[in-house]
A = this chain, B = another copy of it.
Amino acid sequence: MDPKTAPRTRLFVTADLNAGEVIELEDGQIHHLVNVLRLTDGAPIALFNGRDGEWLAEIERAGKRHYRARIGQPLRDQESGPDLWLLFAPIKRRPIDLIGEKATELGAALLWPVITGRTNVARVNLERLGKGVIEAAQQCGRLGVPELRPPAPLGEVIAAWPAGRRLLVLDESGTAPPIAEVLGNAPPRGGDAILIGPEGGFARSELDAMAKQAFVRRVGMGRRILRAETAAIAALACWQALIGDWRAAGPEKIGK
């Protein structure tokens, strides 16, 4: 089936997806399909779980408020997306919602709140963030949702940084080389990550400590002051345009 004629309603599920099998739907999913979208028994939807590609399915009514999905034919093969992480200092609720939604649309593989010296937001509602990224993944056509990590202090994140992965740190001091220059022609073999600081920026000591790490590259994005969520969206977009999956034209598959 041509993806363009595939059902527009896409549902992320955790169950394995195999032809002919039936999976139970959760209350929230049933509410969305039946009450919001007004889908009825037999309506076609598409399912994905981040592992098994995308499948055609039919809604099946099994009781008063009980619906299941009967899996039909495969629509798309699973494909891994770009190996790009987004680390960000926690900010207020609405900008965090925005980062979750937009980073998902822009193909980030992992979202990780990082506590810095000037971070003035104490906690992140990971459940809320998780719901937002699932909705965005369903809407934008991804075959998986970004992994969410619980918040961790910047020092610990840097100390346990995975070998081979680059860390692009947005540095607003005006002395960092421009992002287009730093990104280069391809992501490193070990993957890439973007780190966006808090309102008010990183402390000088944090920037100095990070600059000593071989995996860190400072990047600049001009001299206007960008809000944290703007910087995150902008950096992800530049990454996709320059070294990510926006470089290929034509109807290739949509990545995870």
Whether the Cβ atoms of B238 and A221 lie closer than 8 Å is: no
> Which residues of B lie under 8 Å from residue A241 when comparing CB positions?
178-180, 221, 234, 238, 241-242
A222 neighbours in B (Cβ, 8 Å): 107, 240, 244-246
Interface SS of A by simple majority: loop
Closest CB of chain B to A77's CB: distance in Å? 14
Q: A220 near B: Cβ within 8 Å?
A: yes
Q: Contact at B246–A139, with CB atoms within 8 Å?
A: no
- Of A29-37, A64-72, A223-231, the one contacting chain B is A223-231
Instruction: Fill in one digit per residue for A235-251: 1 if any B CB lies within 8 Å of its CB, else 0.
Output: 11110111011111111
**How far, in whole Å, are A156 and B179 apart by their CA atoms in the complex?**
37
Q: B105–A249 contact, CB under 8 A? A: no
Pairwise interchain contact B142-A224, C-beta atoms closer than 8 A: yes
Q: Does A252 contact B (CB under 8 A)?
A: yes
Please report the C-alpha to C-alpha distance between residue A127 and residue B12 in the assembled complex, in whole angstroms. Answer: 40
Asked if A166 is at the interface (CB within 8 A of a chain B CB), the reply is: no
A101 to B94 alpha-carbon distance, docked (Å): 14
Q: How far is the CA of A227 from the CA of B140 in the complex (A)?
A: 8
Distance A248 CA – B180 CA, assembled complex (angstroms): 10
CB distance from A236 to the nearest CB of B (A): 8
A123 is an interface residue with CB less than 8 A from chain B: no
Q: Chain A interface residue count: which class? A: 35 or more
Q: Is A246 a contact partner of B230 (Cβ separation < 8 A)? A: no
Name the residue in A221, A237, A247 with the highest tally of chain B Cβ atoms < 10 Å from its Cβ: A237
> Would you call A233 an interface residue if the criterion is a C-beta within 8 Å of the partner chain's C-beta atoms?
yes
Q: How far is the CA of A237 from the CA of B222 in the complex (A)?
A: 10
Does any Cβ of B come within 8 Å of A254's Cβ?
yes
Q: Which residue of B lies closest to A229 (CB)?
A: B102
Question: Per-residue CB proximity of A97-110 to B under 8 Å, as 1/0?
Answer: 01001100111000
A224 in contact with B140 given A230-B102, A233-B234, A234-B237 (CB within 8 Å): yes
Q: A106-B230, A139-B227 are in contact. List 7 more A-B contacts (CB 8 A).
A: A102-B230, A140-B227, A174-B251, A175-B249, A178-B246, A223-B255, A241-B241
14 intermolecular pairs with C-beta atoms under 8 Å apart: A101-B227, A102-B230, A105-B226, A139-B227, A140-B225, A140-B227, A141-B223, A174-B249, A180-B241, A222-B240, A222-B244, A233-B233, A234-B236, A238-B241
